[in-house]
Amino acid sequence: MSLLNGITYGLLLFMLSSGLTLIFSMMGILNFAHASFYMLGAYFAYQISTWIGFWPGLLVAPLLVGAVGAAVERYGLRRAHRFGHVAELLFTFGLAFLVEEIVHLIWGKVAVDYRIPVELDGTLFSLFDTDFPIYKGFMMLVSVGMLIALYALLTRTRIGLIIQAALTKPDMVEALGHNVPRIFMLVFGGGTALAGLAGVIGGNAFVTEPGMAAAVGSIVFVVVVVGGLGSLGGAFVASLLIGCIQTFSVALSISVTDVFALIGVDLPEGSQLARLTITQLAPILPYMLMVAILIFRPRGLMGARES
């Protein structure tokens, strides 16, 4: 059961990290505002669901987010690009704060009531006395569908071929007569639309509140670093890995004392460390993994970059 939950969460992470890693390999910068687009997706979907329902929002919200993303690239990032990578990084940093403030202004500082639609509310099946909700199954379905579509687009179509080539050698692709700036805009828009879609289906599974971007943002960076900057395959593996680590560790009821006992170390009774459980450590596990990866394999699981 934890495995299924882990995979669902991992697939959601992949929807975010795939866009981020594509944008990274293309532009050479990490988009700090990427998780903000995830948040926008959730809020847009909430707004649309109050007007016309969840289902139209599922389609419209990611498209809107993608349009916002494309506009940000075209009118913001492209200008900042002329002043170098630092300017671009600062731009995305500022954008993240801007989005958060705008969300505060429009929707307030507390969580909004964005709910799972009634059709998808309920139990899909039960296993070992735990229920697996229909909505989790739906999330999996959407994520896997998206994944297959993305893979097909990148490997089977002409535009995908141009994108793949532009990821490594944008100058050459442009010299062959392809409008690379437009490709950049499309990839940025597509990547942010994916983040938006993740927000649409993640926002009601978790909570839709102004802090959600910051909460998921740092995890997504961990995923991208662990997987290897710029590697889609790496991002996929790392997403699932971290999704599972987080859900498993929450589900485990053993304490740090037990873990140390396993390797033959007895912790003194009553020390702070001994009283910790793995569940309490769950939030820092991904970061520990990232630090370990950076020490032992700086280019990530599947990264090609040396630096």
In the complex, what is the shortest distance from the CB of residue 156 to another protein, in angstroms, rounded to a whole number? 11
Smallest gap from residue 77 Cβ to another protein (A): 17
Q: Binding to another protein by residue 86, rule CB under 8 A?
A: no
Minimum distance of another protein from residue 160's CB (angstroms)? 10
Cβ-based nearer residue to another protein, 171 or 266: 171
Q: Which of these, 43, 249, 243, 269, lies nearest to 136 by C-alpha position?
A: 243
Site residues for another protein, 181-200, by CB under 8 A, read 181
Distance (Å, rounded) from C-alpha 205 to C-alpha 139?
Answer: 9
Cα 158 from Cα 63, distance rounded (Å): 22
Judged by CB under 8 A, the residue of 157, 179, 271, 280 near another protein is 179
Ordered DSSP codes for 1-69: -HHHHHHHHHHHHHHHHHHHHHHHHHHSS--TTHHHHHHHHHHHHHHHHHHT-HHHHHHHHHHHHHHHH
* Burial class of residue 26, CB neighbours in 10 A (0-12, 13-18, 19+): buried
86/144 with CB nearer another protein: 86
In angstroms, rounded to a whole number, what is the distance separating the alpha carbons of residues 65 and 44? 8
If one asks whether residue 176 binds another protein (CB under 8 A), the answer comes out as yes
Q: Where are the beta strands (DSSP E) in the chain?
A: 123-127, 130-133
Closest CB 119 distance from another protein, rounded Å: 43
Instruction: Give 140 or 165: the residue with its C-beta nearer to another protein.
Output: 165
Cα 129 from Cα 189, distance rounded (Å): 43
Rg of the chain over all Cα atoms, to the nearest angstrom: 20
Which is nearer to another protein, 109 or 169 (by Cβ)? 169
299 Rama sector, left if φ>0, alpha if ψ -120 to 50, beta otherwise? alpha
> If binding is defined by CB under 8 A, does position 178 make contact with another protein?
yes
For residue 106, which amino acid is it? I
Q: Which of 74, 120, 174, 277 binds another protein (CB under 8 A)?
A: 174
Give the integer Cα–Cα distance in Å for 190 and 232. Answer: 15
Q: Give the contact letters, 114-153, x = binds to another protein (CB under 8 A), - = no.
A: ----------------------------------------
The binder of another protein chosen from 86, 127, 161, 261 (CB under 8 A):
161
- For residue 294, state whether it binds another protein (rule: CB under 8 A): no
Stretch that binds another protein, among 11-19, 88-96, 140-148, 173-181 (CB under 8 A): 173-181
Judged by CB under 8 A, the residue of 162, 207, 215, 252 near another protein is 162
Residues that bind another protein (CB under 8 A): 158, 161-162, 164-165, 168-169, 171-181
